[in-house]
Structure 1
Amino acid sequence: MGSSARLRQFVHDNGPLILDGGLATELEAQGAKLQGDPLWSARLLHTNPQAIRDAHSRFLLSGADIIATVTYQASIPGFIRHLDVSAERARELLMSGVHLAKETVTRFDSGHQRPLVAGSVGPYGAFLRDGSEYTGAYAAEMSVEELKVWHRPQIDCLAAAGADLIAFETIPSIKEAEAVVELLREFPDTTAWLSFSCKDGKCISDGSLFTEAVQVARRSTQLLAVGVNCCPPDVVEPLLDSAASLQSPDMSWVVYPNSGEDWNPERGWKTSEKLSATIPELSHTWLKQGAALIGGCCRIGPALIAQLRRELKGDCTPAASAEPS
C-alpha cells in the first residue's frame, strides 16, 4: 500500500482528525516577538528551537492529531538573506522544522495513535510579506514554472526530513495551485493536502471560484484533502456547499479557519471576539459536509483546539507523558 493509501486509511479509521491551531499565535502568547520579522515564526528555528518544541507540546496536550511545522514562511532564500547563512545551513534549518515536530511527537505518549507531522508550505506571497497570500496578485506576473521553481526546495527539504505529509497552506490563486499540484508529481512518495485562502463564500482570494480550485486539486492522486484555511469560520459552510458535487471518496475536506479577525500587514490583527468561539460549534456542520481534517489557523490556541476535540471526538484531552519543558 502506497503512502497516500495508508494515510487515507488512517483518516478513515481515526477521523475526524483534529489539526492544531495557530503555531505563531501560541509562540507569541509565550513571549516570542514575531510581528514585522521577515522570517516570522521560522526565525525561532535559528534562535529558540525549544520554544517551538514547547508550542507543539501544548497543541498535542490539547488533543491535536496532526501538528504543522513552523516552516510556513521558511525558505532557502529567506534564511540566506535574513540570517546570513550558507545554502547548506539554510536547508538544515528548514529540515529542522520537521525534526523538532517529530521529536516532540516521539516524546508525547497519549495512549492513542501517534500524531502526524505536516510539513507546512506557505504561498510565495508569504515570502513577499505584503499580505498577498490573501490576494494572490503576484501570480499574474509569474508563470506556473516560476512558482514551481520557488516551491521545489521547500518541498524537497520537508519530504527529505520525513514529514508524514505536506500541507500547502493559504494558497490564494489557481495558478499557484496548479504549480504545487504539478510539482507534487516530482515527489511520488509524498502525500499532501491543499488549502486555499478565500475572499468570501464562493471564491478563493484571486477571485476564482472555489469549485475551480477543487477541480485543480482533483488532478492529483497524492492529495489526501483539499479545503480552506485562514478564512473567517462563517464562510466555510457555503464554500464546501458550492463544491459538494466535486467531493470524492479519495479526497476529503480539510478545514481550519482563523478566528474571524481582520489582518493588516502594517498593524497586525484587529482584535475581536466575534467568531473565535464558534469554530467548535460550526465544526459539526463541516463534519456533516464531509470534512475529515478540522482545526484552526491564526489566533486559535490550544484551549480552543481542546474544545474542538471534545466537540468532535467526545473525549477529554488525552493525558501525556511529555509535558512542555
Structure 2
Amino acid sequence: MHSFPYHNIVILLKQVHLDYLEAGANILITASYQATIQGFESRGFSREESETFLRRSVEIAVEARDEFLEKCSKASADANQEKTNFKNRPILIAASIGSYGAYLADGSEYSGDYGEEVTLDVLKEFHKRRLQVISEAGPDIIAFETIPNKIETQAYVELLEECNIKIPAWFSFNSKDGINVVSGDSLIDCASIADSCVNTVALGINCTPPRFIHDLILSICKVTDKPILIYPNSGESYDAHKKEWVASSGVSEEDFVSYVSKWHEAGASLIGGCCRTTPNTIRAISKVLQGA
C-alpha cells in the first residue's frame, strides 16, 4: 500500500458508523459513494489495491455492526437499556455506489450532464467491476445513490442482470425542482425503469432539499408499491468549483425533523439524512418515528 494513514482512516470510519448506530440508525451506508477503481488508479494505486479499498468499505461497516451488537448484548441485562439505543435490532449494510458524476468530482451528479460521449455502454463499463467487487464483499443491499438521469438508471438495471447480481438493491434519485431528476429527465420514467428490475426492493430520493421531498414521494408512489426511502440533504447547495457546501435555503436540524411525520404519512417508510446531516439528525428522526 502507498504511504498514507490507512489505519487511522479505518478507525475513523468505524467510529462514524458506530456514532450513527448509537443514534438509532438501522442501515449503515458504506463509505464507497465516491470510491471507484478508476479514481484510485488515477492516484497511483494498483488495481488490486483499488479493489481492496472497495471491499474494505463493506467490511468496516460490518465490523462496526458486529461491535455495536456486542455492546447491545452486554447492555441487555441493564435495567436502563430501554433508555438507550443499545438495543438489539435489525441492522443492514448498504453498499453505496455513487453516480459517474461523483467520480468526475465536478458536481455533475447534481446536473446529470455527462456529455454526449458518455453512452449507456460507457457507463456500464465504468460501473461493472466496481459493482462486482462490492457485491462480493457481502453487503445486505446495494445502494445506487444520487442517480441524476435515466441513462444511468438503465445502466444499473442492465448490469444487475448481466452480472447475475443476487443481492437486493435500492435506487435513489436526486432532484432540484421537486418534479424531475436533476438532469431534467422524468422522475416517474426513472423510477419505472428501476421498479422493473427484479433486484429492486426500494426506491427513493436522496441529497435533495427537504422542501421538495413530499411531492417527490407522491410521484414515486404512482409507479411502485415497493417501500419508498428518502434521505434528504440539509437544503444547502454544493459549489462544484469551491468543492464545498454553501448556505442557501438550508434548514436547521429542528426544521428538518419537523418534516419527518409528513414524509412518513405521504408514503416514505425508510427515512434518513444525506449531506450536511449528522447523527443528531438520525437520533431525532428515530425519536419521531418511534412515536408514529
* Displacement of 1:190: 1.1
Match of 1:255 in 2: 230
Q: Which whole-Å deviations, capped at 9, do the CAs of 1:84-129 have from their partners, x for residues lacking one?
A: 2211111011100000000000011233223111000000001111
Work out which of the residue numbers 242, 266, 275 in structure 1 matches 2:241. Answer: 266
Match of 1:3 in 2: none
* Displacement of 1:227: 1.0
Work out which of the residue numbers 108, 114, 128 in structure 2 matches 1:138. Answer: 114
* Displacement of 1:275: 4.8
> Aligned runs of 1:89-108 on 2, under 5 Å?
89-108=49-68
Cα distance 1:143–1:45, how it changes in 2: closer, same or farther (>3 A)? farther
Percentage identity across paired residues of the two chains: 35
Match of 1:118 in 2: 94
> What is the one-letter code of the residue matched to 1:201?
G
Work out which of the residue numbers 39, 62, 75 in structure 1 matches 2:23. Answer: 62
Under a length normalisation based on structure 1, what TM-score does the superposition of the two structures give?
0.79
Work out which of the residue numbers 14, 24, 28 in structure 2 matches 1:53. Answer: 14
Cα distance 1:87–1:177, how it changes in 2: closer, same or farther (>3 A)? same
In the alignment, is the contact (CA less than 8 A) between 1:171 and 1:177 conserved in 2?
Answer: yes
**Residue 144 of structure 2 corresponds to residue 168 of structure 1:** yes
In the alignment, is the contact (CA less than 8 A) between 1:167 and 1:193 conserved in 2?
Answer: yes
Deviates more, 1:73-82 or 1:57-66: 73-82
Distance in 2 separating the partners of 1:165 and 1:139: 30
Distance in 2 separating the partners of 1:135 and 1:311: 33
Q: Which whole-Å deviations, capped at 9, do the CAs of 1:164-189 have from their partners, x for residues lacking one?
A: 10100001000000000111112331
Gaps of 5+ in 1: 1-42, 316-325
* Displacement of 1:48: 1.5
**Residue 175 of structure 2 corresponds to residue 215 of structure 1:** no
In the alignment, is the contact (CA less than 8 A) between 2:195 and 2:224 conserved in 1?
Answer: no
Work out which of the residue numbers 42, 48, 63 in structure 2 matches 1:81. Answer: 42
> 1:208 is paired with a residue of what secondary structure?
coil
> What is the one-letter code of the residue matched to 1:260?
G
* Displacement of 1:45: 5.9
Match of 2:171 in 1: 194
Structure 1 or 2, whichever has the larger Rg, is: 2
Match of 2:263 in 1: 286
* Displacement of 1:60: 0.5
* Displacement of 1:144: 1.3
> What is the one-letter code of the residue matched to 2:168?
T
In the alignment, is the contact (CA less than 8 A) between 2:176 and 2:209 conserved in 1?
Answer: no
Distance in 1 separating the partners of 2:111 and 2:180: 11
> 1:108 is paired with a residue of what secondary structure?
helix
In the alignment, is the contact (CA less than 8 A) between 1:123 and 1:171 conserved in 2?
Answer: yes
Distance in 1 separating the partners of 2:260 and 2:137: 32
In the alignment, is the contact (CA less than 8 A) between 1:45 and 1:97 conserved in 2?
Answer: no
Distance in 2 separating the partners of 1:188 and 1:79: 24
In the alignment, is the contact (CA less than 8 A) between 1:45 and 1:93 conserved in 2?
Answer: no
Distance in 2 separating the partners of 1:44 and 1:129: 23
Distance in 2 separating the partners of 1:166 and 1:46: 26
> 1:307 is paired with a residue of what secondary structure?
helix
Gaps of 5+ in 2: 70-85
Distance in 2 separating the partners of 1:200 and 1:123: 19
> 1:106 is paired with a residue of what secondary structure?
helix
Match of 1:323 in 2: none
Under a length normalisation based on structure 2, what TM-score does the superposition of the two structures give?
0.88
Q: Which whole-Å deviations, capped at 9, do the CAs of 1:261-308 have from their partners, x for residues lacking one?
A: 111012311136535433322121221222121100000000111000
Considering only aligned residues, what root-mean-square deviation do their CA atoms show, in Å?
1.8
* Displacement of 1:44: 7.5
Work out which of the residue numbers 159, 162, 178 in structure 2 matches 1:183. Answer: 159
* Displacement of 1:157: 1.4
* Displacement of 1:79: 1.1
Match of 1:243 in 2: 220
Cα distance 1:50–1:295, how it changes in 2: closer, same or farther (>3 A)? same
Q: Which whole-Å deviations, capped at 9, do the CAs of 1:218-259 have from their partners, x for residues lacking one?
A: 1112111111100001101111223332131xx211100000
Distance in 2 separating the partners of 1:171 and 1:44: 31
